[in-house]
Structure 1
Amino acid sequence: MLILLPPSEGKAFPGGGPPLDPASLTLPELTPARESVMAALERVCARPVEQARTVLGLTPRQVEAVQRNRELRTAATLRAAELYTGVLYDALRLPELLAGRSAALVEESVLIFSGLWGVLRPTDAVPPYRLSMGVSLPPLGGLGVFWRSRLGEVLTKLAEGRLVVDCRSTAYATAFRPGPAVAARTVTVRVLRQTVVDGTVRRSVVSHMAKAARGAVAHSLLAAGASPRTPGELATALADLGHRVELTAPARGGGPHVLNVVVPG
């Protein structure tokens, strides 16, 4: 099983580990691409703060992120498991999982996508930063497209023979689009809120609740030591763990299954 996650806008600060060692990160074949993105980000953040903020799509209240990006090579690091905060990661509780019997499964199964690093394992140590996958970073262009050409072959090989549980948001899904062989073993997790209005059942997609539900689904699988090999086994495992799920077959050949996680409104 391979669980694909987005990062979070919120990040813990400061770190307490040694400065960044790019070569130590997972999938070291991505090191040249990471160095290219980091160098481009440093050049943007060397500009006047307001210019850098505009390129990075930051609000006036987020200007401190420009300074953090200037210090990527010297700042203290922390594990990705502690770096990412927010609704999804509060529900996922990676540090708790890494401290328990599920540690090996977490390290083997979880990939966190990043506009700066491409992908990270939970134990990879990186400094606090701010760079969305949706940014067009001079001179590299859109980061989703940049990473797609670097991640495709690497992640296709990593996913060989494994069920892929895709919990990414749209922006991060652009960085890796599974080919037909991997897509056939991929399940996209969608969260639906169900309410009853005047006796009529209604369902809607809500992004904030979706983050928490995806984090809870991933936590349940990892904490239970689950190892589903097919979309059907995944749906059964989650139902046994107390989640209300509905599996939908691909709308067209070669596409992923969709797993609807139904939560009360």
Structure 2
Amino acid sequence: MKLVMKIIISPAKKMVKTDSFLPRSQPVFLNKAEELIAFLRERDFEQLSEIWQASPAITREGQRQLADFNSAKATVPAIATYSGIQYQYMAADLFTERALDYSQQHLRILSGLYGVLRPFDAVCPYRLELKNKMIGFRDYSLYHFWGSLIHDELFKDDQVVINLASKEYARVVKPYLKSDERMITIDFLEKRAQGYKTIGTHAKMSRGEMTRFICENQIKTPEELQAFSDFSYKFDVSVSDDNTYVFKTDFDFKRK
């Protein structure tokens, strides 16, 4: 059966340099990333702090990243550079070779700077979120800057996208969905005293686990996702629909 899906995840603020993997490809929208970097390099400390909404220490680190940014010398792939909770639980360094190959073909990381990344695209550490206000730039909003480009790249070969990204990043895709395209958002709910709720940190952990589940099992259809059971999750067909898959659990995350 032909694989027909893409999977989207969010980036992480924290980025590290590692030699776990070597890059295999270049970002699709590298020219647009260079345009954003050129603009940010023209900003002074106070302007960058306002754009990034960052503390002085983080702004200084961001300035160092801007000074060091050199796409021609990027030697680390995206999948090994991001270091947030979702990436820790995805644990790409433990992927089989088949899972890594699958991820390069089907997994996509959304990015305020690069737009969309394949796991083995060579990247440089940077600081830029989609929600950042680009004060002084020709496009105040990065959502406007990217427009339909990210959507078009995701759906150019496939008609189904599995959304494991945050609302901030999924928002750059959703407005451009066509009637024959399907984006399935995955919701993770856990039992609390007030009922089933989404808990941010635990949802990030769960997105990472599901990403690994998809890649390791070479998932071919959305229906196969319903077998996901990490953290004792069960697919709840009664509250799910064609565009939203809801997984519920009674798992005690305090034990992790």
TM-score, shorter chain, exceeding 0.5: yes
Moved over 3 A (4+): 13-18, 74-77, 239-243, 247-250
1:173 to 170, 180, 191: 170
The answer to whether 1:191 aligns with 2:188 is: yes
- Where 2:11 maps in the other structure, the secondary structure is coil
Cα RMSD of the aligned pairs, angstroms, is: 2.8
Letter in 2 for 1:124: D
In the alignment, is the contact (CA less than 8 A) between 2:130 and 2:169 conserved in 1? yes
Change (3 A) 1:114 1:206: same
Query: Contact 1:33–1:150 (CA<8 Å) still a contact in 2?
Result: no
- Unpaired runs of 5+ residues, structure 1, are 251-255
Which residue of structure 1 aligns with residue 14 of structure 2? 10
TM-score w.r.t. the length of structure 2 is 0.82
Residue number in structure 1 paired with 2:236: 246
Q: How many residues align?
A: 240
Cα 1:35–1:240 shift into 2, 3 Å: closer
Corresponding residue of 1:157 = 156
| Native 8 Å contact 2:18 2:81 kept in 1 | no
Structure 1 counterpart of 2:195? 202
Q: Equivalent residue for 1:107?
A: 104
Q: In 2, are the aligned partners of 1:15 and 1:128 still within 8 Å (CA)?
A: no
Could you tell me how far apart the structure 2 residues matched to 1:215 and 1:136 are? 28
Compute the displacement of 1:239 (Å).
5.1
- What is the CA-CA distance between 1:145 and the residue it aligns to? 2.4
Give how far 1:32 is off: 3.5
| Aligned counterpart, 1:140 | 139
Q: Does 1:84 find its partner at 2:74?
A: no
Q: Which moved more, 1:35-44 or 1:238-247?
A: 238-247
TM-score, normalised to structure 1's length?
Answer: 0.80
Q: Which residue of 2 aligns with 1:253?
A: none
Alpha-carbon shift at residue 219 of structure 1 (Å): 0.7
How many angstroms apart in 2 are the aligned matches of 1:90 and 1:16?
A: 14
Alpha-carbon distance, 1:38 to partner: 2.4
Task: Show the counterpart of 1:260.
Answer: 246
Counterparts of 2:132 and 2:161 in 1: how far apart (Å)? Answer: 26
Report % sequence identity.
Answer: 23
Separation in 2, partners of 1:41, 1:16: 29
CA distance in 1, matches of 2:21, 2:93: 16
**Matched-pair contact (CA < 8 Å) for 1:148–1:174:** no
State the partner residue of 2:41: 42
What residue identity is the alignment partner of 2:51?
V
Contact 2:9-2:164 within 8 A present in 1 as well: yes
- SS of 1:2's partner is strand
Change (3 A) 1:14 1:109: closer
1:62 maps to amino acid: I
Q: Distance in 2 between matches of 1:38 and 1:159?
A: 30
Q: Distance in 2 between matches of 1:164 and 1:41?
A: 32
C-alpha distance in 2 between matches for 1:14 and 1:223: 22
Distance 2:81 2:166 in 1: 18
Listed one character per residue, the Cα deviations across residues 110-152 of structure 1 (whole Å, up to 9, x for unaligned) are 0000000001111111111111111122232211222133223
Cα distance change, pair 36–166 in 1 and its aligned pair in 2 (3 A): same
**CA distance, structure 2, for counterparts of residue 104 and residue 260 of structure 1:** 28
Tell me the residue number matched to 1:131. 128
Question: Aligned AA for 1:55?
Answer: I
What is the alpha-carbon distance in structure 1 between the residues aligned to residue 155 and residue 34 of structure 2? 22
